[in-house]
Amino acid sequence: MARDAERTKKRLLEAAAAEFAALGIAGARVDRIAHSAGCNKAMIYAYFGNKDQLFDAVFTQLVAATVERAPFDAADLAAYAGRLFDRYEADPATVRLSTWYRLERPQGVSLQAVVASNKSKLEKIERAQREGLVPAHYAPVELLTLVIATAGAWASVNPELGSDAPADRERRRVVVVDAVRRLLGTPEDPGPT
Amino acid sequence: MARDAERTKKRLLEAAAAEFAALGIAGARVDRIAHSAGCNKAMIYAYFGNKDQLFDAVFTQLVAATVERAPFDAADLAAYAGRLFDRYEADPATVRLSTWYRLERPQGVSLQAVVASNKSKLEKIERAQREGLVPAHYAPVELLTLVIATAGAWASVNPELGSDAPADRERRRVVVVDAVRRLLGTPEDPGPT
DNA sequence: GTCTGTCAACTGACTGGTTAGTTGTCTGGG
DNA sequence: CCCAGACAACTAACCAGTCAGTTGACAGAC
């Protein structure tokens, strides 16, 4: 029952995800991760190398999970934004981890999983634009950037504003999806003007 | 020339802003801030109390500077987004500091400057909506959240995507302003549909 | 069945270096 | 003379990473 390397690695990854999401790389404590995973600190070094590499392992897994839970669909970017929003709401650690990654990982270091995921999305958008499924007033990178920013808008705004925000998750979701439709120039509700 | 408390405080604030922007609260080193301000660590404790309070001082000043440099105009949110974008581009530390603040300051702690600034903006949007200057398909908080998220879209997206982005700042600015126009339902270019 | 050798999984204790925060003293301007 | 501004030196805690050694599972010999 005990002595199961895979199980230990998994517990370590979960504990690390929680610690890193809460405190970032610099704020995370290796001892605390090991303790809350119920094992010894040395296991982290045996399995993952060091603190930074442990973070990378956590983040790579997170990217994979997000790609799976919120599959990309260039032909319906509004629905994709909705799924991304759902993912962020279901697991707030996702946004935080992703933000820490942006702030704390030195420039120039790119994770393969992230690069591949982006490249694939950009190609799909470009194809959809050529096929006329997506309007072409924005370039693929521009569109993807706006869609991602919109889906994470509630999570990327200062907390003081968040406290004024509608507690109603469903309403926030509607706003996100509708906003992307408007960006695409195909609003469901054309609005007063 | 020496012995000038105000001058020392200012140097300390500048050095702290750079350090915090680069490394966050947990990653910043008090010794390094003092050294790059050309004075002693004890001065930080004499003038600001402790590390967290030093961060708050830096951030409060940043909020004031941003409000001044990017004055809010509820009647023309697209132009406001453009100004915010300019501010972020001119001083990238702004976005980073603001992000660190969101991640590292414990929930429940609110800076007066931030709360006041938000409240004022929300009231202005509400008034503009009542006067018919701004469409009302989104509530004030929703609109403000989307506008801020859009202005910071390029800065809040993972770096791997940024490297594919157009280096052309002017084009990114056009996209931001145009996106906000679309959100408001009054696009300059109505698009293919 | 049980004894024994082997190896991966695991651990407690340690280290070298770092860090936030403090204190007692000095200095120069008024 | 006096006191705010400045600092070197200090402390107590902390922390990433290491290491010598232990434990448990299991395979093959008998």
For chain B, give the secondary structure using H, E and C: CCCCHHHHHHHHHHHHHHHHHHHHHHHCCHHHHHHHCCCCHHHHHHHHCCHHHHHHHHHHHHHHHHHHHCCCCHHHHHHHHHHHHHHHHHCCHHHHHHHHHHHHCCCCCCCHHHHHHHHHHHHHHHHHHHCCCCCCCCCHHHHHHHHHHHHCHHHCCCHHHHHHCCCCHHHHHHHHHHHHHHHCCCCCCCCCC
Dihedral, CA of residue A170, residue A176, residue A181 and residue A187, to nearest 10 = 60
Shortest Cα distance, chain A CAs vs residue B183, angstroms? 6
Residue nearest to nucleotide D24 (CA to C1'): A3
Quote the pLDDT of residue B152: 94
Which range scores top for mean pLDDT: A99-108, A116-125, B1-10?
Answer: A116-125
Pick from A114, A118, A146: CB nearest B179: A146
Is A190 within the bounds of a domain?
A: no
State the nucleotide closest to A43 in CA–C1' terms: C10
Is B21 within the bounds of a domain?
A: no
Quote the pLDDT of residue B165: 65
pLDDT digits (tens, 9 = 90+) for A53-70: 999 999 999 999 999 999
Pick from A103, A172, A193: CB nearest B96: A103
Nearest residue of B to residue A28 by CA position?
B26
Shortest Cα distance, chain B CAs vs residue A26, angstroms? 5
Q: Does B1 touch chain A (CB under 8 A)?
A: no
Quote the pLDDT of residue B189: 41
Cα–Cα distances (Å) from A75 to A128, A188, B69, in that order, read 6, 16, 39
Is A129 within the bounds of a domain?
A: yes
pLDDT surpassing 90 at residue A146: yes
CATH of the domain at A172: 1.10.357.10
Q: Does A160 touch chain B (CB under 8 A)?
A: yes
Quote the pLDDT of residue A112: 86
Is B193 within the bounds of a domain?
A: no
Q: Which residues, 6 or more positions from B169, have their beta carbon under 8 angstroms from its beta carbon?
A: B89
Following DSSP, what letter does each residue of A72-140 receive, concatenated?
--GGGHHHHHHHHHHHHHH-THHHHHHHHHHHHSPTT---HHHHHHHHHHHHHHHHHHHTTSS--SS-H
pLDDT surpassing 60 at residue A191: no
pLDDT surpassing 90 at residue B30: yes
Is A191 within the bounds of a domain?
A: no
- The domain tally of chain B equals 1
Is B172 within the bounds of a domain?
A: yes
Nearest residue of B to residue A160 by CA position?
B115
Q: Which domain holds residue A155?
A: 5-183
pLDDT digits (tens, 9 = 90+) for B54-104: 999 999 999 999 999 999 999 999 999 999 999 999 999 999 999 999 999
Is A139 within the bounds of a domain?
A: yes
Quote the pLDDT of residue B95: 93
- Mean pLDDT (whole number) for B13-23: 95
Cα–Cα distances (Å) from A110 to A71, A116, A132, B114, B158, in that order, read 22, 10, 32, 34, 10
Shortest Cα distance, chain A CAs vs residue B123, angstroms? 12
Most B CBs within 10 Å: which of A102, A143, A176, as the mutation test of the B interface? A102
Nearest residue of A to residue B109 by CA position?
A160
Is A188 within the bounds of a domain?
A: no
Kindly determine whether residue B165 and residue A182, on different chains, have CB atoms separated by under 8 Å: no
pLDDT digits (tens, 9 = 90+) for B141-170: 999 999 999 999 998 887 777 776 667 899
